[in-house]
Amino acid sequence: MNIESFDSLKGFWKTVLGQVEIEISPMVYKSVIARTQAESLNDNLVVITCEDDFVKKNLEKKYLDIVEKAIRNTAGRDLKTKLKVSTDKNGRMDKEGKGELGPLFSSQRDPSVVVEEKRQKSNLSSKFTFENYIIGKNNNLAYAIATAVAEKPGELYNPVFIYSRVGLGKTHLIQAIGNKVIESKPGVRVVYTTGEAFTNELIEAIQSGKGKGQYTTNQFREKFRKADVLLIDDVQFIIGREATQEEFFHTFNTLYMAGKQIVITSDRPPKDFTNLEERITSRFSSGIIADIQNPDMEMRAAILRAKRDENKDFVPNEVINYIAEKVDSNIRELEGAYLQAVTYAKANGLELNVDLAAKALGQTIREKAVKNVNVNEILKAVCLYYSVKAQDLKGKRRNKELVIPRQVAMYLMKEITDMPFMTIGEFLGGRDHTTVMHGVGKIQAEMAQTGKTTQDIVNVKQIIFNN
């Protein structure tokens, strides 16, 4: 095959893209490669126009070798490549960073700098992108929804509610939406926050307003209600806080009625919120809900291989597979185990193999197993997960929203610390040891019958051991 066999430049580039498409993932092809075109071609040079600076930067950094190989195969000889960014009628900047912002203004700024400033203003981290998000059976639905939302915010799915246990990639996915929107849609205003930060910022605004400070509740509302895309991570932290729930409800309604995109993450589905106003949970359930499950063995291995390639570590595949088999809890612990093994090998000046990894991980597992967890830490984790107060769990009230968390606390205190029933009862408000025995037995029976109780126990343990 050679250049002369093509009737047009468009046909030549279509053939090049076809070769590239079979070499990379569909997601990368769609988000990067498919957004290019050949502007000109001569005997020595192909000029490739990229839709925006995001495409150009990723093509240069990660995929240019693959594209140049396809060009070489299609043209039948070596050709140099030159990348540039197109300037559309809306005045997006070309590769020199020049573009018109209006009749009274001009800019010489690098567009990547502008994107980074917007990212920081939106509280987003540049490390969370769709390009480095590993896709598998455990998260493919959540990923598909997230990419669709980033492509057309406010049009396809709204609101979006994504939930999973800790450490499985919720924050990565929700921030990837924000980063993609900022890079591809310059005029769209993105605001990212967490449930805890939203609460703290509201408290600060209320207190500041009372003290005639600088930050008022009006400014708080202006910040969140003027967003085009609102991303709220770990929304469970607003539970049990009446003022925060009220403000969140009105913020949600304002944006939803205006057709603005809302994306929310949590550690549990809306139906499992026991202390959240029904009008809010019904809003959560009015859109699309997706969960992220634990990664399987193949997924865990893929995550570690991506980590290896990113860090340029020399780690054999058999070591990757060993770590992936050994650590099956969540991605944070998986990457932590990988780092532990690599660091251990480097510190001892040894080549990493399965035996060395086993030694390094054995040390980590033993340290985790003997972690000194006290009953206060367990009580704090239970209260955080169920959004209840410690004083209420220790109190005498026996309403449903307290009985289950109280029994879970009893069960975990017994299982983790092996503390006597009598001591646990005294800690939990002076209860009789038979009450504690009944509570522990009740949770054990429910775990044998329902998957939800087992999952709740696993989630609380994650909070305990990851803090």
Residue 187 marked in a binding site? no
Please calculate the CA angle 90-154-172 and round it to the nearest 5 degrees.
95
Which distant-in-sequence residues (6+ apart) come within 8 Å of 405 by Cβ?
382, 383, 385, 386, 388, 393
Which distant-in-sequence residues (6+ apart) come within 8 Å of 88 by Cβ?
none
Which distant-in-sequence residues (6+ apart) come within 8 Å of 51 by Cβ?
35, 36, 85, 86
Strands 160-163 and 261-266: parallel
Residue 167 marked in a binding site? yes
Q: What is the 3-state secondary structure (H, E, C) of 399-464?
A: CHHHHHHHHHHHHHHHHHHCCCHHHHHHHCCCCCHHHHHHHHHHHHHHHHHCHHHHHHHHHHHHHH
- Partners of 83 in beta bridges: 48
Report whether 145 contacts 139 (CB < 8 A): no
Residue 169 marked in a binding site? yes
Residue 435 marked in a binding site? no
Please calculate the CA angle 237-241-242 and round it to the nearest 5 degrees.
140
Residue ranges at the known binding site? 167, 169-171
- Sequence ranges of the binding site for ATP: 167, 169-171
